[in-house]
Structure 1
Amino acid sequence: MPNGSRVSRKSGAIQSQPCTIPFGAGYEYTPDFLVIYRTTLGPAHLQKPSLLVEVKPRSEWRANWRAWSTKWKAARRHAIEMDWRFTIMDEERIRGQALENIKFLRRYDDLVYDEGLSLEIIEDVEARGVVTFGDLLSRRYPEIHRAEGIGHLWHLLATRRLDCDINLRLSYNTELWIPGHE
């Protein structure tokens, strides 16, 4: 990858300070995040390109846009070279329920569960189309194993093997489905 970029190809990931981009006479710029969207099934034109993101408070970028425009132009060129998009977001735009849910699910991402049971749960959801978290938990886990079941279902969401509307508060009423079958 050009310009020292080292980016994981993990689908559905958010990477902090993903690359360093040279610009101007000996300067370097490191964007805040790279959002790698999960790969969807279907034609290439429906694939969502990764998004290189700079986050700044609105008051700062409005006051400094001329001084920072050179590095942001370099970031846009770099993004185009990588088949990404580049955007600048203010902090207000990224705060909200989706961010809270992502932070909550992150703790379940690296947990390990029985793959056979994971496949059974996924098949169950696929057969039913849409199911609430609470209903799936009750169907798959007896009361004595509820705590393990909660972790397992959050893990399947965190690893994007199950999907939900990430913009809504996660709860027992959260509707789950198979990614790509919304």
Structure 2
Amino acid sequence: MQMNSQQKKPVRKIAIGTSSIRGTIPTLGQYESSLERDFMELVRFDSNVELYTPQPVKISFHDRAGRKTTYVPDGLIEYRHDLFPASELKPVLCEIKYRDDFRKDWKRLIDCFKAAKLYALEQGWVFKVYTEFEIRTNYLKNIKFLIEYRNEISPVSVEDNILIKLEELRISDPETLLVSLFRDPWVRADAIRVLWRLIALRRIGCDLTEVLTMRSKIWTMESRS
């Protein structure tokens, strides 16, 4: 996700004491549950995302009993216009909900979700519900591991050596690549941090839907010829 100075304010503030798990994700805003926190980490890692707004809109509607009520979805994802395929993606109005919570309150939530789907359609958006099944995956585990490496400062010479060697090998894995470059195990221990950073920055490709290990397949995302 890019840094964006046009961060929008949520329509609803998180009240103190409403949740035992509250906090803030840098550049994104506040969360009210650990599942929301995990979802926001996915958004923060996604280079296609331009802007994320928590509690973005308040939707007024009549429920199945005819009562006027309101619903505030958890977030709105807006995508970059300068990058393909992000430029082709519609904004996503989203709800983050544990499946058990949905089962306990499904009648009310179905009405809310129908109203949100209609509202999103009118705006040219889409509405999606994300549960722990979509959020808590190997991909999440991997990005939680990688995301802290993105802001590290690494020697350009080591980065270049890794990228040049990987382009030569075409496809490798972290262990094979580093052993081929550095004989000293202490040097390799430092170099692995550089490698994780390059993966986190998408300069080196890797299937992050699989568990990331020293034997994961990796390849260069850059042509240096």
Establish whether TM, by shorter chain, passes 0.5: yes
Please give the secondary structure, in 1, of the residue aligned with 2:127. strand
Please give the secondary structure, in 2, of the residue aligned with 1:163. strand
In 2, Cα distance between the equivalents of 1:178 and 1:76?
43
Is residue 133–residue 173 contact of structure 1 (8 Å, CA) maintained in 2? yes
Is residue 76–residue 94 contact of structure 2 (8 Å, CA) maintained in 1? yes
Paired position in structure 2 for 1:132:
173
Paired residues for 1:69-80 under 5 Å: 69=110, 71-72=112-113, 73-74=115-116, 77-78=119-120
Is 1:176 aligned to residue 218 of structure 2? yes
Q: 1:147: how far off?
A: 1.8
Please give the secondary structure, in 2, of the residue aligned with 1:177. strand
Larger Rg: 2
Paired position in structure 1 for 2:72:
29
Paired residues for 1:82-161 under 5 Å: 85-143=126-184, 144-161=186-203
CA deviation vs aligned residue, 1:113-140 (integer Å, no higher than 9, x gap): 1335324423432333211111111223
Ranges in structure 1 where 5+ consecutive residues have no aligned partner: none
Is residue 93–residue 120 contact of structure 2 (8 Å, CA) maintained in 1? no
In 1, Cα distance between the equivalents of 2:206 and 2:217?
6
> Taking structure 1 as reference, are residues 146 and 69 closer, same or farther at Cα in structure 2, changes over 3 Å only?
same
Q: 1:47: how far off?
A: 5.5
What TM-score comes out, normalization by structure 2 length? 0.58
In 2, Cα distance between the equivalents of 1:141 and 1:84?
50
Q: 1:15: how far off?
A: 7.8
Q: How many residues align?
A: 177
Paired residues for 1:8-87 under 5 Å: 11=47, 18=54, 20-24=56-60, 29-31=72-74, 34=77, 51-69=92-110, 71-72=112-113, 73-74=115-116, 77-78=119-120, 81=123, 85-87=126-128
In 2, Cα distance between the equivalents of 1:172 and 1:23?
48
In 1, Cα distance between the equivalents of 2:197 and 2:177?
14
Q: 1:159: how far off?
A: 1.5
Is residue 22–residue 74 contact of structure 1 (8 Å, CA) maintained in 2? no
Percent identical across equivalent pairs? Answer: 22
In 1, Cα distance between the equivalents of 2:112 and 2:125?
16
